[in-house]
Amino acid sequence: MNQDKTALQDYLTTPTRIIRLDDFAKDFVFGSAGTSLSGAAQEDGRGPSIWDAWTMLGLSSPVCNIVDRSDGNVAIDQYHKNKLMKKTGLTAYKFSISLLRILLVNFEQNVDLSSILSGGINGEGIDFYNNLIDTLLAEGYGGFLSENIVKDYCDYVELCFWEFGDRVKHWITINEPYPFCVYGYMTGTFSPGRGSSSPDNNDAICRHKGSGVPQACADRNPGTKPYLTGHHLLLAHAYAIHLYRREFQPYQGGNIGITEVSHFFELFNDTQEDRNAALRALDFMLGCMRNAAGDPLPKFTREQAKLIKDSYDFLGLNYYTTYYATYAPRPSNQPPSFSTDQELTTSKASESDIFHCQVGSDWLAIVPRGIYNLLVYIREKYNIGLIYITENGVGDLNDDDLTVLEACKDQIRIKYHQDHFHYLKMAIRHGVNVKANFIWSFANNFEWSDGFTLRFGIFYTDFRDGHLTRYPKS
């Protein structure tokens, strides 16, 4: 911990590049992002989600899925508190639309799932999203392990296009496919917790009583689940794009894309093997696994492949950090698995590099140059015409000993974003067409498995005053 504090002090004492609004084009969008902020988990007809179940599991046992045993039932209560962002000067906000807020469906009960619309539309949920919303999609019959999700997802997005498309002009079909597939269906550290080798998590899988899908895939190998869920995610995305372009875009005039999250990967050793490993790491995290995985990848039909090709008007990109990649041959005595098919290991950068300073999250080292490297790589590899940075931020550990005034002196975040804006500006000068940057996050909030132990917000949330009061940071 002392080494971390020393690295942080060294980082904060390096010169900060002052970046101003007029350093970017007039049509560049500055915004903030939020997902786990909504709260009101049981109000106005909202149904239970997989994250509701995930946060409740283990509350009575020594090991809990959430570090501080918190949950998102209230979170920071954005359901009732959503007017503050008007005062920030931000020009955009990225949020999610919860299926369970707008549709009357309970996947835990024996309901008719021939159509996800069979339960009807929740008018109160629709009213809420006409102001502001967010939370997660849910699973019930295997979720994205089942090909049935593709049609149901299209029913869901069609309703969103109808209800909100007259005002929403920028749509993201899927936010961060990689963590959803890998952490939710291989490591078991995110909901729905499938694929983990932990006996506790194996038992927890049974909570999805209506799923009919065993914990392991058909071949009894949970290591291939990320490929199957990724396959269905891409299909759901592609058919949603096709629906929007055919039925809504001509008269609503919006644009639509997908958001990927990716680190940048640098080679650990100056060898061809590590250079190839770094490229494979990008393929697996950013490139939707592409062809590097070989046989484990589910096959697309010719029609499906045609739909997926160019199925975006823009690419949303979430960048947080950079890792080293090292070649590691796949064990010959193990079945195919996402964890070994990459043939590499990753690690955080060396302590001697002050631009790899770590603040709160054990996975997030501060590497501002990585956003430049990643953007240039995407332009050169994929020739993406339009990119929005849909998340970028840093989290520090919650410290209840700090006063509100002390906590609002946020030099870490000021320097973090100034440094990243500097490299973002460099990428734009290099020819990358980036038109927006959304800071994660607007306010300190429920950070998934880390609960309330990490603070990413540009607004400080007082979790102790009983009112979840927000305070603007310096």
Active site residue ranges: 391
Residues 152, 158: Cα–Cα separation, whole Å: 10
**Number of neighbouring beta carbons within 10 Å of residue 309:** 8
Amino acid in position 419: D
Residues 65, 383: Cα–Cα separation, whole Å: 40
What Å distances lie between residue 179 and 7, 121, 230, CA to CA?
28, 29, 10
- Residue 405 main-chain phi, psi, to 5 deg: -60, -45
SS3 454: strand
Amino acid in position 168: V
Residues 356, 367: Cα–Cα separation, whole Å: 5
Judging by DSSP bridges, how do beta strands 255-261 and 170-175 pair with one another?
A: parallel
What 8-state DSSP symbol labels residue 389?
A: E
Three-state SS letters, 82-123 = CCHHHHCCCCEEECCCCHHHHECCCCCCCCCCCCCCCCCECH
Burial class (CB in 10 A: 0-12, 13-18, 19+), 295: exposed
* Residues comprising the chain, all counted: 474
Judging by DSSP bridges, how do beta strands 255-261 and 314-318 pair with one another?
A: parallel
**Number of neighbouring beta carbons within 10 Å of residue 150:** 20
Q: Residue 175 is inside which H or E element, if any? A: strand 170-175
